[in-house]
Structure formats: C-alpha cells, structure tokens
Amino acid sequence: MIPQNFEYSQPNNLNEALALLAGGNAKVLAGGMSLIPLMKLRLAAPEHLVDLSRVTDLKSIREEAGAIKIGAMTTHWEIESSPLLRSKCPLLAEAASNIGDVQVRNMGTIGGSIAHADPAADYPASLLALEAQVRISSAKRERTLGIADFLVEALATALEPGEIVREIIVPVEASGTGVSYQKMVQPASGFAIVGTAARVRKSGGKVSFVHVGITGLAGKAFRAAGVEKLLAGTAGSAADVQKAAAVAADGVDANTDLHASAAYRRQMAKVYTARALTQALARAS
C-alpha cells in the first residue's frame, strides 16, 4: 500500500536535524525497518519525516576513555562487522549478527532499534548486560541515560518530543570476560521469542562477575537479577548454571502470542539462559 502524504526533510547535519525536530511534530526516520512498513500499512501516518541518512556525524564507532561510542545511525551490519567491537565488545557484535536478515542488518540502525523499543528486539538484552548508556540530544539540551531507564515499557522510551538518540556507549570489555547471546528466533519476523545475553568473569575458580539480560519474555527486556545472584560466587559448574537459569522467568509476567504461549516462553527463557551462561563461561578465561 502507498503511505499517506507526508512532508520530508533530509538534514545534512545534527543541528539542522534537531532544529527540524524542535517543533515536536516530526518523526525521525533512521533505517526505516520498522517505520516504513507501518507507514505503508497506514498504521502510522506521521505528518513530517526527518530522514537522518545524511547526518554522517551519527555514523561512527570509536573508542574513547575505556568506552566505545556508537553513533545512532550505525547499522547492525556495521556493528556486527566492526573489528573494534568484535575485539573489545564482542557481545554487541554478536547481538547485531542475530538481528532479522541481511537486508534488515544493512539498513536498520542501533539508534532506530532502541528508539522503537520493540519488546522482542535483540539489542536490549546485550545493552542491559553491558550497562550501556544512551546519549540523547534535542535543540535545547543533552542528557545521558542508562539503558534500563531509557527503555520504559513495550514500544515506549524516555525520549521526549524533539529528542533523538545520539549515541550508545558501551564499556570496553575487561580481559577474561566471556560473553554470549543465545536467541530462540521466530523465523518469520526474525524477532526473539526469547533471547539471553550473558557476561561472566571468573577469578580463583569462582564466578566473580555475572550480568544477564533477557529480551522477548516480558513487556520489556530486563536484567535477570535472580539468575546473577545464584550464579555469582559458585564454581560455574553445569549444575550451578542449571540452578541459576531455573529462576530466569521467576516473577515475570510472560508474553503470549501465536508463536509461543507464556508457559512455553518461560520454559525457553530457562533453556536459553542456561545456554548463554554455559557458552559465556566456556569463553571466559
């Protein structure tokens, strides 16, 4: 179907873009992998689109003071294939490689993905496990939020009218950290039925650090604090992993849809959490 008429702007830099968005009526177009289909179905009918494709200052991956800063318009493919991320923040590269299909990864951007805040998107699990920061700009101010505060609920973020995601900041992974993102994919959409991202470190034969993020299971992605608590301080044996992963869905109001009932999702959350922890532990040195 053909979208409803809309005004279209293609600013050349960030300031131009922010000025256009200051009115509050315009919608940002990033990679368009979610927005364009919605517009074609006429489920979304924004009056004004501000296309960020020419704002090259938003397209970069750079290391700065122990952190890696990823511009919002960086595509999933650029993240997946970045030598810097692959060596210094492999979890995010692994998450990106699991998104949708190759066409989506070539067009879709990390800023667009988190601003859309689909509850089954791949990034949030990893970004939560990484305790990522989101830098946000508007014509008036700039602020930085932790990813947990940025993601408010399904399809809703802390972004206010006129604001855009500018960059995502992730830590340079400490040496010896093992990471893994394990996803049960829904083949038609490429979204996660459930997906677990894990980061672990061991010291003196014990698990000294463990961060786990889970997507797809609930209304929004979350840190699995119960799992982390049970695994921390153990030897990280197969039995320890099973015991910790068993609480992955505890206290969670699980989603239901045609592809997976709530009970099935809860069970798969345990299975995929165990897989992610097992692989992360195997990769930790």
Partner 1 sequence: MKISGSYTLPVARERAYQLLQDPDILAQCMPGTDHLAKIGPDEYEMKMKMVISAVQGLFGGKIRVADQKPPEQFRLLVEGSGKVGFVKGEGVLTLVPSDASTSDSSTEVRYEGDVQVGGVIAGVGQRLLDTTAKLVIRKFFEKLTELADEASVPAVV
Site residues for partner 1 per CB under 8 A: 27, 34-35, 37-39, 41-46, 116-120, 153-156, 186, 189, 191, 219, 253, 255-259
Nearest distance from C-beta of residue 159 to partner 1, angstroms? 11
In the three-class reduction of DSSP (H, G, I as helix; E, B as strand; rest coil), residue 242 is classed as helix
Q: Which residues pair with 222 in a beta bridge?
A: 214
Q: Which is nearer to partner 1, 1 or 65 (CB)?
A: 1
Nearest distance from C-beta of residue 37 to partner 1, angstroms? 8
CA dihedral sign of residues 259, 265, 269, 272: negative
CA 35, CA 166: separation in Å to the nearest integer?
18
CA 7, CA 110: separation in Å to the nearest integer?
24
CB-CB contact of 74 with 59 (8 Å)? yes
Nearest distance from C-beta of residue 62 to partner 1, angstroms? 30
Nearest distance from C-beta of residue 169 to partner 1, angstroms? 24
**What is the token pair recorded at 168?**
């995502």
Q: Which is nearer to partner 1, 101 or 253 (CB)?
A: 253
Q: Beta-carbon neighbour count of residue 89 at 10 Å?
A: 26
Residue 248, C-beta contacts closer than 8 angstroms, at least 6 positions apart: 196, 212, 214, 217, 224, 226, 227, 269, 270, 273
Nearest distance from C-beta of residue 131 to partner 1, angstroms? 24
